[in-house]
Amino acid sequence: MCELLGMSANVPTDICFSFTGLMQRGGGTGPHRDGWGIAFYEGKGVRTFHDPAASVNSEVARLIQSHPIKSHIVISHIRQANVGGVCLVNTHPFQRELWGRHWTYAHNGQLTAEIFDWPLGDYIPVGTTDSERAFCWLLGEIRREFPKAPTLAEEQERLSLFIQERCDRLRSLGVFNMMLSDADRLYVYCTTKLQWITRRAPFGEAVLQDVEVKVDFGSETTPDDVVTVIATEPLTTNETWHPLKPGEFIVFRLGEIEHLSEENPPLPVS
């Protein structure tokens, strides 16, 4: 299994604090030694760092921890390999272009080998993981159903429902905790383990679980900032994180929930 970390914010925000917690689990407090990666969206652009080494030992991870990159969407993944060897080509997040947008995806879980029989569309895996195979299948399905990008709100809602339905199918093959983004929205699907928290004014102090670090968000934010963080396990000890239910699907945009799977009503905001 692996660990996921995502962020959706209404202002460019750095993820140094949460990433500092996550990287400890990459061979430190957690067993996820088989590589890590992170993607930062800046407008429609995205920059990605991949390292097949354990994050707790990674020079690149140390740089990201100490060198704030402001972003409105982040997807990060630390890997404990099951299907597919430990190498750069199998290191999440994975990316492809659709409609002139960079799509980024990371997966935690394991799917049965049946995924390798599902017919692909226009995207072909480069590596050997079930995760990248599922991504190529999913994006191929989206491209087939939506040859052009949704422009109207109702088209976007139809796209969200379509992604949700395809994630339900993937979940039928095993554990499928997933984050997906097109530079505008962060799509999150849960089979077993994902939790989220939205931070907004009045901001308080947060204390990391995996390493002795705390931050006072009040001194780093403005009153209008809205920042949602999603992670496999809560990263802080003094805040209330909201667990997603099995089969729950949430679309975040600018830090807020835009779409939520119907059978799972919103959890109360603390």
Catalytic machinery residues: 2
Closest to a copy of itself by CB, 44 vs 214, is 44
By the rule CB under 8 A, 127 interacts with a copy of itself: yes
**Are the beta carbons of 21 and 211 closer than 8 angstroms?**
yes
By the rule CB under 8 A, 102 interacts with a copy of itself: yes
Number of residues that bind a copy of itself (CB under 8 A): 33
Closest to a copy of itself by CB, 59 vs 117, is 59
CA-wise closest residue to 83 among 116, 130, 125: 130
Q: Which stretch, 5-13, 43-51, 156-164, 224-232, contacts a copy of itself (CB under 8 A)?
A: 43-51
The only residue of 8, 18, 55, 91 in contact with a copy of itself, by rule CB under 8 A: 91
* Residue 249 to residue 236: CA distance in whole angstroms: 23
Q: Which stretch, 123-131, 154-162, 226-234, 242-250, contacts a copy of itself (CB under 8 A)?
A: 123-131
**Are the beta carbons of 5 and 229 closer than 8 angstroms?**
yes
By the rule CB under 8 A, 43 interacts with a copy of itself: yes
The only residue of 70, 99, 112, 269 in contact with a copy of itself, by rule CB under 8 A: 99
By the rule CB under 8 A, 126 interacts with a copy of itself: yes
By the rule CB under 8 A, 42 interacts with a copy of itself: yes
The only residue of 125, 171, 187, 199 in contact with a copy of itself, by rule CB under 8 A: 125
* Residue 90 to residue 212: CA distance in whole angstroms: 31
By the rule CB under 8 A, 8 interacts with a copy of itself: no
DSSP 146-199: -SS---SHHHHHHHHHHHHHHHHHHHTTB--EEEEE-SS-EEEE-SS--EEEEE
For residue 41, the Cα-to-chain-centroid distance in whole angstroms is 12
Please, what is the minimum distance in Å from the beta carbon of residue 267 to a copy of itself?
34
By the rule CB under 8 A, 79 interacts with a copy of itself: no
CA-wise closest residue to 75 among 164, 127, 150, 135: 135
Amino acid identity of residue 142, one-letter, is: I
Preceding peptide of 93 cis, ω within 30°: yes
The residue ranges that bind a copy of itself (CB under 8 A) are 42-52, 59-60, 63, 67, 87-91, 95-97, 99-102, 122-127
